[in-house]
Structure 1
Amino acid sequence: MLSEQELERYSRQIMLFGENGQQHLKNANVFIAGAGGLGCPIALYLAVAGVGNLKMVDKDVVDRSNLNRQVLHWETDIGKEKVLSIEEKLRSINPDIDVDVFTKIIDISNVSELIADADVIVDAMDNYSTRYLLNQVAQEKGIPLIHGAVRGFDGQATTIIPGKTACLNCLFPSAPPGEIFPVVGVTAGLIAMVQANEVIKYLVGTGEMLTDRLLIWNGLSAEIEYLKFKKRCDCIICSSYSDKS
């Protein structure tokens, strides 16, 4: 049940999707892979929305070069583990939620256990090798995956529903070359907002999801385009799994 404090905190949202929708958010478990430029605003807005259980995993510590875009890390956090920095902020922002964090490299040996029985997986990573792991476990467990990526003034996002939509490997059969890429903070913030919005819509069951469409943001022209894509019959990942919806 929602407490009186929660009813007051979320009163403007409850006007949109009712106490039942807010209860769905409170009961939800969301796994966020990455505590950087995307992970920070995603975690912040899911926390203030009242998503009751957030789990975050990241291996890094805060560096001064992170501070132009990783908005939950501050000057005083330099040298601190990123997930601990975020945990501290989220618990202060909303004491009514649970936050579980791990300083780990996500790899084949632990990805399934870390995700466990999450309701949604959020890809806030900066490399495709981990993204492909998240996609594979999402397909195995039948858990939606919300993808986002940024570079410079450009960004992209899509939502993958196992058994119903194309998967990340359908969209990107091979990974782009790895690099240390430029990025401006507002790009990460914008794409993160799209991802957080997708999580909230999915959990409360409202709106149209960003499925089988890649949202492409061009910050220099302030334009959004959509690339439609389809499930590949020869996909090495999603073609191996039956409908788990």
Structure 2
Amino acid sequence: MSGLKTISGSCHALAEALLSSGPEEACAIGYAHHDRSSGTWVLIEVEPVAASAYADRSVIAASLRSELLIEVANRARRDRLSPIFIHTHPFAQGSPVFSSIDDAGERDILAYLARRAPDACALAMVIGPDGIAARVLGEGRAIDVWDVGAALTCLSGSDGARFEDRHDRQLRAFGPDGQQALNRLKYLVVGAGGTGAATLQQLAYLGARDVTIIDHDLVELTNLNRLVGATIHDIGRPKAEVARDWFLAISPGANVEAVVGDIVDARVARRISDHDLIFLCTDSHASRAVVGQAAYQYLVPAIDMGVSISVKDGVVTHLTGRVQMLAPSLPCLSCTGALDGEQIRREMLTPEQRAADPYVIGGHAPQPAVISLNSTMASLAVTMMLGAVTPIPAGARFQYYDGIAGKVRPTVANVRANCIVCSKAGALAQGGRWALPVRPEGDAHG
């Protein structure tokens, strides 16, 4: 699903500033990074225009001076950004609608930009007291506007979806708005193993309609104790394809794509920005580094989960798990100390590089794993997602699970000032202007 992604609160703050400036229409200019392959825009900055920039202004129309348009076009061309032309309809009732005056004004601006900034894909936005609407400038094609943070909210209204009877019981829990939110999101599940398979099962039953599954592994006999949906007949098949097949068996009308690949490879990581929400279900520090940064860079929230079973002298000493949401205003994996830099380096190596590295000794030893712990963490993660996108009041965004004590403990972590991943001094909302910490194309392995 394409759309404009904004840091939580930025559109609300802008609407309040513009609508409180007086009865006349008010304007603002924003700049976004546009990803043509995914049809998404990441809002980088936005400011109301100065009073001196208006050529004309009334309660039904506003026009801007040509000097400002020149400045906008030059900035868009120089920084490879797409401008967003924003104005208010102060007296609109309900969701605002673009007027015929807006149509004519957009045609003139589009013609000017075509000459001065031909690579830009500009947007128009109208703000009313009760909502926001946006479209591609001069095309009339509506796009969604997303508020991205601890909650993920579509600001641009309903798509008039109809619901299946099979979802009646959950509609009674979080209503049609909640079900519509679940239906319209485009999900990315990274890792189709223990926690990933359990997460996908729940998404299928909840009514997710658009899901991409990424995993580079094949099903092995030792996976069958915890790989939901897999049977002995699936041994040797890609986990992503097995997961796709049984997802469609649960929800035949869904659009499910299986990608056999590693998210740390550049060609696969490029798929991240095409999605609205990620479930990170791997035990790899490298994959967490890539997805963890992309969550802030492209404003695609991710829910990371991990499990651990410790055994000493044949006795289970620890049975634990962690679920953490990664999104603007929330601490990243770097802030919480969840990443090991040396482990990331090792995991980024190709098999040939790993064999030649004198600091890499032996292979990765299989860790204990049981389906109950995987399913517990998947359920916590999916419930966390429901709290972020539906009216269910599940507010915790970082949780620890202690299976021996039988406790789920919400925790609070601090955002590190000037963090290179999650702050405005780092990757936050940079879109394609920043590079992800991926394995280069030439180093990818199959």
Question: What TM-score results when the alignment is normalised by the length of structure 1?
Answer: 0.89
Q: Find the partner of 2:400 among 205, 216, 229.
A: 216
Equivalent pairs, count: 239
List alignment gaps of at least 5 residues for structure 2: 1-159, 310-318, 344-363, 431-446
Distance of 1:151 and 1:173 partners within structure 2: 13
Q: Find the partner of 2:327 among 128, 142, 161.
A: 161
Cα contact 1:146–1:157 (8 A) shared by 2: yes
Cα contact 1:111–1:134 (8 A) shared by 2: no
Cα contact 1:216–1:225 (8 A) shared by 2: yes
- Quick check: 1:192 aligned with 2:378? yes
Distance of 2:181 and 2:410 partners within structure 1: 29
The residue number in structure 2 matching 1:34 is 191
The residue number in structure 2 matching 1:231 is 415
Shift of 1:242: 4.5
Distance of 1:60 and 1:84 partners within structure 2: 10
Stretches of 4+ aligned residues off by more than 6 angstroms: none
Q: Which has the larger radius of gyration?
A: 2
Shift of 1:179: 5.3
What letter corresponds to residue 228 of structure 1 in structure 2?
Answer: V
Distance of 2:193 and 2:235 partners within structure 1: 13
Q: Find the partner of 2:213 among 56, 65, 70.
A: 56
**Cα pair distance change 1:97/1:65, threshold 3 Å:** same
Superposed CA deviations along residues 135-169 of structure 1, whole A, max 9, x for unmatched, are 1111110111101001122111111222x111111
Shift of 1:101: 1.1
SS in 2 for 1:168: coil
Distance of 1:63 and 1:201 partners within structure 2: 35
List alignment gaps of at least 5 residues for structure 1: none
Distance of 2:272 and 2:176 partners within structure 1: 27
SS in 1 for 2:307: strand
Shift of 1:117: 2.6
SS in 2 for 1:209: coil
The residue number in structure 2 matching 1:14 is 171
More helix by percentage = 1
- Quick check: 1:94 aligned with 2:259? no
Cα contact 2:402–2:408 (8 A) shared by 1: yes
Shift of 1:227: 3.2
Superposed CA deviations along residues 186-227 of structure 1, whole A, max 9, x for unmatched, are 11110011111122332225323332x3x1112122122233
SS in 1 for 2:291: helix
Q: State, as a whole percentage, how many aligned pairs show the same letter.
A: 25
Superposed CA deviations along residues 108-129 of structure 1, whole A, max 9, x for unmatched, are 5135422133111111011111
Shift of 1:20: 2.6
Question: What TM-score results when the alignment is normalised by the length of structure 2?
Answer: 0.51
The residue number in structure 1 matching 2:123 is none
Distance of 2:161 and 2:231 partners within structure 1: 32
| Farther-moved stretch of structure 1 (73-82 vs 165-174) | 165-174
SS in 1 for 2:334: helix
The residue number in structure 2 matching 1:170 is 335
Cα contact 2:323–2:381 (8 A) shared by 1: yes
Shift of 1:21: 2.0
Distance of 1:18 and 1:114 partners within structure 2: 31
Structure of higher RCO (CA pairs closer than 8 Å, 6+ residues apart): 1
Distance of 1:225 and 1:203 partners within structure 2: 22
What letter corresponds to residue 395 of structure 2 in structure 1?
Answer: M
